[in-house]
């Protein structure tokens, strides 16, 4: 099979995750048919597009009957009268020609360029888009001096990669590269829509640290992502290292880098490992191991392939009409990501940075990690929107209780601290607001917990008290300004 990214023939693309009838109708269209991966905007899927030369029509939420209607007229030209959007573009476009459709028209498309456009596991499509460039170890190491890890599942979260690579390379034993794609929407989308990018970054890292094995670690709940990366690994031309796909339990803590290693080793009880030494010295089966998220490795592959802006994947969720994952340059504001969807009601607050992100009333913050950290927010790449009807005190209370219920129990500051934090927040409903006590407890957890789970668990409460203190005081006085937890504050 040759690439679908060149030539003048008509190409019909449809969402591979759509209903089976869509595939059956497409197969009878009498044109070149391509099953492509998710676009990042689930609200418009199943998404179908039809390309002839330098023009493409897009058809959102396409049913089998609608597809049957538009394919019946293909002999007469593109079905522009049935389309939700039409785009003129380079006839050999290797990235999605962005239509004027909500969810697709925000941000930029560098790492996400193949989503909804290229066949995820077809090596010809990937090569036509400039993929499979073999960088030397020296070139990769130079890239790793400035590239920072993405996500809390990356051992180098917000830190350059090169120092960890050097440690692994100079530690005795064959190294292993772990692709941690557990539990984050953006990582799962990368495996489902552009797995070759992730594997390419992993192979470059393996060459740099002299690794003989790549392990792709996926939540057992992400079956599509696991199947896609397995197929891509089998189709990867001259794969330079052995690649395995391992699934782990679909619980939040299982994404922590050392607990990911525990899961890959087959341990049923997942606990964070004491450090030092870190995984680069003692990882899987005692071997030096580097752990990077799929986002980090896809970014590495694109950095080695071409110059371009450093970007961040941001998933918008919460009180919005539809969740969406977009790609921003580090200079773009988080507000531009939220603009890719519709807030249900008016925006009151956002939890920025994932499960234990920071609460803020302003999204006028750029997506680069330094700005996010300066603003007290998290860098996980998730913006959870809270509308005016939501109570921030209830929100952070639930996050604290989640932390108390779901921590691994390995270290006292996290195990006991999260329980005490939940109790202090619950005390608000009995008229007691101990801000100093919450801040001191958060400080202890941040400075003495052994892993990111405990370090970050107090951030929702800390940042919410800073931005919405009047709501905490109101609850202690027996009122919920949002009216969301009236029953709890009524004596």
User: For 146-193, how does the pLDDT look when each residue is reduced to its tens digit (9 = 90+)?
Assistant: 999 999 999 999 999 999 999 999 999 999 999 999 989 999 999 999
Helix (H) or strand (E) holding 223: helix 223-235
Contacts of 264 (CB under 8 A, 6+ apart): 178, 215, 217, 246, 248, 284
Mean pLDDT score, 286-306: 97
pLDDT band at 6 (very low <50, low <70, confident <90, very high): low
Question: Has residue 490 got a pLDDT over 60?
Answer: no
CB 354 within 8 A of CB 152: yes
User: Taking Cα atoms as reference points, which of 10, 7, 27 lies closest to residue 18?
Assistant: 27
How, if at all, do strands 358-360 and 324-329 pair? unpaired
User: For 324-372, how does the pLDDT look when each residue is reduced to its tens digit (9 = 90+)?
Assistant: 999 999 999 999 999 999 999 999 999 999 999 999 999 999 999 999 9
Residue linked to tokens 């049923």? 268
What does 335-372 look like in DSSP terms, one character per residue?
HHHHTTS-BSS-EEEEEESSTT-EEES----BSSHHHH
Taking all residues of the chain, what is their mean pLDDT, rounded to a whole number? 95
pLDDT band at 458 (very low <50, low <70, confident <90, very high): very high
Q: How many CB atoms lie within 10 A of CB 310?
A: 16
Contacts of 75 (CB under 8 A, 6+ apart): none
Mean pLDDT score, 236-254: 97
pLDDT band at 491 (very low <50, low <70, confident <90, very high): very low
Question: Has residue 420 got a pLDDT over 60?
Answer: yes
Sign of CA dihedral 464, 468, 469, 474: negative
pLDDT at 485: 87
CB 48 within 8 A of CB 33: no
Question: Has residue 7 got a pLDDT over 80?
Answer: no
In sequence order, the β-bridge partners of residue 56 are 51, 87
In sequence order, the β-bridge partners of residue 386 are 349
Q: What are phi and psi of 180, to 5 degrees?
A: -90, 100
Mean pLDDT score, 392-416: 97
How many angstroms separate the first and last alpha carbons of the chain? 71
pLDDT at 1: 55
């Amino acid at each position: 099979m040759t690439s679908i990214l060149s030539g003048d023939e008509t190409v019909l693309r449809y969402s591979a995750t759509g209903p089976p009838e869509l595939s059956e109708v497409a197969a009878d269209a009498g044109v070149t048919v391509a099953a492509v991966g998710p676009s990042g905007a689930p609200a418009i899927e199943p998404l179908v597009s039809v390309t002839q030369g330098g023009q493409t029509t897009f058809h959102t939420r396409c049913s089998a009957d609608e597809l049957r209607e538009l394919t019946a007229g293909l002999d007469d030209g593109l079905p522009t009268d049935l389309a939700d959007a039409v785009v003129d573009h380079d006839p050999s476009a290797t990235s999605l020609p962005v239509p004027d459709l909500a969810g697709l028209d925000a941000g930029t498309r560098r790492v996400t360029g193949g989503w909804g456009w290229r066949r995820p596991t077809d090596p010809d499509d990937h090569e036509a888009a400039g993929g499979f460039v073999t960088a030397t170890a020296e070139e990769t190491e130079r890239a790793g001096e400035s590239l920072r890890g993405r996500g809390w599942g990356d051992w180098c979260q917000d830190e350059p990669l090169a120092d960890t690579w050097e440690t692994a390379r100079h530690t005795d034993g064959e190294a292993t590269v772990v692709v941690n794609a557990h539990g984050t929407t953006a990582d799962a989308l990368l495996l489902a829509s552009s797995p070759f990018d992730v594997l390419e970054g992993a192979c470059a890292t393996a060459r740099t640290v002299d690794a003989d094995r790549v392990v792709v670690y996926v939540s057992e709940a992400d079956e599509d992502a696991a199947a896609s990366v397995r197929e891509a690994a089998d189709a990867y031309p001259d794969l330079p290292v052995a690649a395995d796909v391992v699934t782990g339990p679909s619980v939040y803590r299982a994404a922590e880098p050392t607990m990911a290693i525990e899961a890959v080793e087959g341990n049923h009880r997942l606990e964070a490992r004491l450090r030092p030494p870190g995984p680069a010295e003692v990882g899987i089966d005692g071997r030096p191991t580097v752990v990077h998220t799929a986002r980090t490795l896809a970014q590495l592959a694109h950095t080695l392939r071409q110059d371009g802006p450093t970007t961040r994947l941001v998933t918008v969720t919460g009180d919005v009409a539809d969740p969406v994952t977009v790609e921003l340059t580090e200079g773009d504001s988080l507000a531009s990501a939220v603009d890719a969807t519709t807030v249900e009601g008016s925006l009151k607050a956002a939890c920025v940075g994932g499960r234990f992100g920071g609460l803020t009333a302003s999204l006028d913050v750029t997506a680069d990690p330094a700005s996010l950290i300066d603003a007290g927010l998290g860098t996980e790449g998730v913006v959870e929107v809270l509308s005016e009807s939501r109570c921030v005190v209830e929100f952070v209370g639930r996050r604290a209780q989640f932390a108390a219920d779901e921590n691994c129990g390995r270290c006292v500051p996290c195990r006991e601290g999260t329980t005490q934090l939940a109790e202090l927040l619950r005390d608000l409903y009995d008229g007691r607001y101990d801000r100093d006590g919450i801040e001191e407890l958060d400080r202890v957890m941040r400075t003495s917990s052994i892993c990111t789970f405990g370090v970050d668990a107090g951030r929702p409460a800390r940042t919410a008290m800073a931005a919405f203190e009047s709501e905490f005081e109101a609850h202690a006085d027996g009122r919920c300004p949002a009216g969301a937890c009236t029953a709890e504050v009524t004596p």
